[in-house]
Each structure stands twice: as C-alpha cells, then as structure tokens.
C-alpha cells in the first residue's frame, strides 16, 4: 500500500504545522511519499513565501533594494528550523540564493521555486526522510507540457525503502533550467508522483475538510462533499469552485488513482474522495453534489425571423466571436433566437466592434446585450435521468423571488446552469443549498 501525500502552504506555515504533518504521517506507514508547498500564511495578515519571492524578483527588475523582503524570507525559514530544533544549515542555502540574486544570475522561475525547495529540505530533515529534488525527475518538454514517461521513470529510480520528501511546483526544461507550473502547481507535482509510483491514493492535505458543497463566504458552514467524480469536479471547477489546480486530475485519472482531499488541522475528518465513479450513493435522496458559480457575465442575444430554417446563422455569429478570440461559455437558444454568454471582462474591450460585425454579417432583427449577469451551476451525477429535478430547482428559486435570465443543461445531465442578475447571485446559491443540500 502506498499513499502519496501533498501538504499545501498552510500545512507548512510554521513549526506547529510541521508537527501536525509528522503525526499524520506517523499515523499511517503507507504515507511514505510527501510533496510540500512553500510556507503559506500563518494568519490572515501574513504573507506566503511564494508571493514574497515574486515580489523580490520584481524589485530586482526595477533596481529597487529588496533586502527587507529577503530578510522576511530568511527569518521565516530560520525560525521554523529553530522551532523544530533540526540540524540543517539553512543559513548557507539562503545565502546562496541571496548571492545569486545580487549577481542577477537567478531566473524568476528558479527564485520562486526556492520556497518549495526550502520547505522540502526542512521537512525531510525534520522527518528524517530523504530529500528528492523535483529538478531530478520532473522533465518539461519544450512546449511546457510534462514529459510524463521520462519523469515517471526517473522518480521510480529514486525511490527506495525510506520515505521521501519532494518540493512541489517545479521541474526542469530539457536544457536543465528550472521551470515552475502556474500558481498552485504543487498539486500537480503530487499527482505526477502518485501516477509515477502507482499509488493507491493521492492525499491532498489542505486547511479545509474537503471540497465544500458551496462557497463558505456565501453559505454559512457548508458541508464537505464526501464523494465526487472527476467529471463532476471538472464541472465544479469550470463554473467557479476553486479546488485543485486544473492540471492535477489528468495524471491520476489516467491511472485511476483516487484523490482524497483532507484537512491537516482536522485529520480525523474523512474529507472528499474523488474517483472515476462510486458504487452507490451515500444518500440516494441527495441529487446535488455541489453548487457553484461566478458573477459578471454578459449575454449577447440576437433574434432573426425564420432563423431556424436558415443555414449558417450560428456559424456566422460564432465566426465574429472567433475573430476577436472570444471564448464563449454557454450558448442557449430558442427557435428564432440565440444568445452567447461569456465573462464581461473578455468582451468589454471589443464589444461595439463585435456588435457592428454581427449586424453586418448576420443581419439580425434584434440584437441586445445584457450584463451584470451571474451564472450558477448545480452539479450532481444523480440528477441524470431523474425527472423533476429542474422543476424542483426552479420552483425553489421562483418561491424566493429570483428571476432566471438563462437556463442551460449539459447533454450528460451532470449540471443545471442558470443565469441570474448579479444582485441575486448569493441568494440563489443560498436557496439551492438550503433547499437541496442540507
Ligand atoms: N507555492 C506555490 C504557490 O503559492 C505553489 C503551490 O503552493 O502549490 O502558488
């Protein structure tokens, strides 16, 4: 049995958190492979080490003195080491980075990757595990994708009987230069390690007890989702939930490795299990797995009499958007009308030009734009082939006086998506949660 474990920034924030990580690992001898993030915030006002590293690099670019920021990075690591009482020459590691900064011989990617590197060095010394550098096994292709075959093979060769600690977030380009994933990318390192080693489970340890059914800033104390499929997770993340880095799922899904999201601060909570499928539902009456959404969408709607019989209208409309490189999120349609929905931010700079081109190329009878629209998604695999679900959802919203501006359902019936005015966004999510998720 092998469990690959990844600990996020809040689990690495100070010595107390390191100790919690150690007890979690000691509780299960299968937890032999550990991936770590850079130290995160100890409280709301604190800074993430990765942010401080980016800031340091920006200072070097503008020739501004970065000593104060670098000292914060320096002190933080020395303090964790001293509080843990481990024997490790952190001063030398940190001074090496400082020298390279002063010489301007360190790239931005390499500099920001040092947060994970230093965390992993500290954690390996604290646990008495072996430190395995991500630079020794994660290989990028020139196009920025990961060469999975080579990387997996390199990691397999490095693993022995002893536990290992790997820094998240980075690997190397074919020429040996360090390259990072995008922000939050330590999740991907963990997924790659799990896939390389054919782990039985990939445990992703955070500071919440799993993926929540709704945003806790909107719904008070939402429950965690016990089980979610990869497909549902994709729907939830696409529609707004911030869960795992989007590159995470692919390597583990390919190998059918379940992902378990857990809470370092509440290790007894079972968290959320993410798998391809589940045998039977925990609660057969519950049809919504999670509720999510985003604000600030725009809807361009056009109508044209006889449109349903005319070939190519939709293509012409989409071609205009394609010309402006606009990706649309939804395209609900009626018989003689169609709308396209996309984030306002993406369409704002070229809106009038787009409207002009639609008039010219499609010649609609009416053309309107509505903004301040929020999109809400109710996601759940148990909604499929079950009559009456959307009726229940819309009845609940109607009773609460929420006007629905758009409705869309994916062909796999994994979600019901609807648009409401921005001002009704939070209320809509609360109505759904209180009616169907509690
Ligand atoms: N430390 C990096 C970040 O803050 C990567 C990670 O934590 O996953 O984005």
Q: Which domains does the chain have, with CATH numbers?
A: 3-207 (3.40.1160.10), 290-437 (3.30.2130.10)
Task: Tell me how crowded residue 243 is: count the other CB atoms within 10 A of its CB.
Answer: 25
Averaged pLDDT for residues 183-200: 97
The per-residue pLDDT for range 275-287, each reduced to its tens digit, is 999 987 777 778 8
pLDDT attached to residue 57: 97
**Cα(379) to centroid of ligand 1, in Å?**
28
pLDDT attached to residue 1: 96
Cβ of 163 closer than 6 Å to ligand 1, yes or no, is no
Do 20 and 267 form a contact (C-beta atoms < 8 A)? yes
DSSP string, 356-406: HHHHHHH--SEEEEEEEEEEEEEE-GGGTT-TTHHHHHHHHHHHTTPPP-E
pLDDT at position 411 over 80: no
Cβ of 339 closer than 6 Å to ligand 1, yes or no, is no
pLDDT attached to residue 86: 97
Record the tokens describing residue 351, joined without a space. Answer: 């809106």
pLDDT band at 387; cut points 50, 70, 90: confident
Record the tokens describing residue 230, joined without a space. Answer: 């990869």
Non-local CB neighbours of 381 within 8 Å, separated by 6+ positions:
229, 231, 232, 289, 414
* Residue identifier of the C-alpha nearest atom 5 of ligand 1: 184
DSSP 224: B
pLDDT band at 354; cut points 50, 70, 90: very high
3-class secondary-structure state, position 141: coil
pLDDT attached to residue 290: 94
Cβ of 298 closer than 6 Å to ligand 1, yes or no, is no
Q: Please identify which residue in the block is written with the tokens 């939402």.
A: 222
Averaged pLDDT for residues 194-209: 97
- Probe residue for ligand 1, chosen from 116, 167, 179 as the CB with the greatest number of ligand atoms within 8 Å: 116
Q: If you average pLDDT over every residue of the chain, what do you get?
A: 94
> What are the residue ranges of helices labelled H in 64-167?
67-84, 90-102, 108-127, 148-158
Q: What's the rounded Cα separation, in Å, for the pair 181 and 245?
A: 10
pLDDT attached to residue 280: 77
Do 219 and 430 form a contact (C-beta atoms < 8 A)? yes
Cβ of 121 closer than 6 Å to ligand 1, yes or no, is no
pLDDT band at 438; cut points 50, 70, 90: confident
């Amino acid at each position: 049995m092998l469990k690959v474990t990844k600990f996020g920034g809040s689990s690495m924030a100070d010595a107390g958190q390191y100790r919690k990580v150690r007890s979690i690992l000691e509780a299960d001898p299968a937890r032999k492979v550990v991936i770590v993030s850079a130290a995160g915030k100890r409280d709301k006002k604190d800074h993430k080490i990765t942010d401080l590293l980016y800031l340091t690099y920006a200072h070097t670019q503008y020739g501004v003195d970065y000593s104060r920021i670098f000292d914060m990075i320096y002190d933080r690591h020395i303090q964790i080491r001293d509080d843990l009482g481990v024997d490790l020459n952190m001063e030398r590691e940190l001074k090496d980075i400082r020298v390279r900064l002063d010489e301007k011989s360190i790239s931005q990617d390499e500099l920001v990757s040092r947060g994970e590197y230093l965390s992993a060095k500290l954690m390996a010394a604290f646990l008495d595990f072996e430190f395995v550098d991500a630079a020794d096994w994660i290989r990028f292709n020139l196009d920025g994708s990961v060469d999975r075959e080579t990387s997996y093979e390199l990691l397999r060769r490095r693993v022995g009987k002893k536990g290992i600690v790997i820094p998240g977030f980075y690997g190397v380009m074919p020429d040996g230069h360090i390259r990072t994933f995008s922000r939050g990318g330590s999740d991907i390192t963990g997924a790659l390690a799990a896939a390389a080693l054919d782990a039985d489970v990939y445990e992703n340890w955070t500071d919440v007890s799993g993926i929540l059914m709704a945003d806790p800033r909107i719904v008070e104390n939402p429950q965690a989702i016990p089980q979610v499929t990869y497909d549902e997770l994709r729907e939830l993340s696409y529609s707004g939930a911030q869960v795992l880095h989007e590159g995470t799922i692919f390597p583990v899904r390919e190998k059918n490795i379940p992902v378990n999201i857990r809470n370092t601060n509440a290790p007894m909570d079972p968290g959320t299990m993410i798998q391809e499928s589940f045998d039977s539902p925990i609660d057969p009456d519950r049809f919504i797995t999670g509720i999510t959404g985003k604000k600030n969408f725009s809807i361009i709607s056009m109508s044209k009499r006889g449109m349903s019989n005319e070939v190519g209208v939709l293509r012409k409309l989409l071609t205009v958007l394609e010309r402006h490189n606009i990706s649309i999120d939804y395209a609900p349609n009626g018989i003689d009308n169609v709308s396209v929905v996309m984030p306002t931010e993406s369409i704002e700079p070229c809106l009038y030009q787009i409207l002009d081109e639609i008039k010219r190329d499609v010649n609609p009878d009416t053309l309107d734009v509505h903004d301040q629209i929020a999109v809400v998604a109710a996601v759940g695999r148990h909604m499929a082939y079950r009559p009456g679900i959307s009726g229940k959802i819309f009845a609940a919203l109607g009773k609460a006086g929420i006007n629905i501006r758009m409705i869309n359902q994916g062909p796999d019936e994994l979600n019901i998506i609807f648009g409401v005015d921005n001002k009704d966004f939070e209320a809509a999510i609360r109505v759904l949660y209180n009616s169907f998720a509690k």
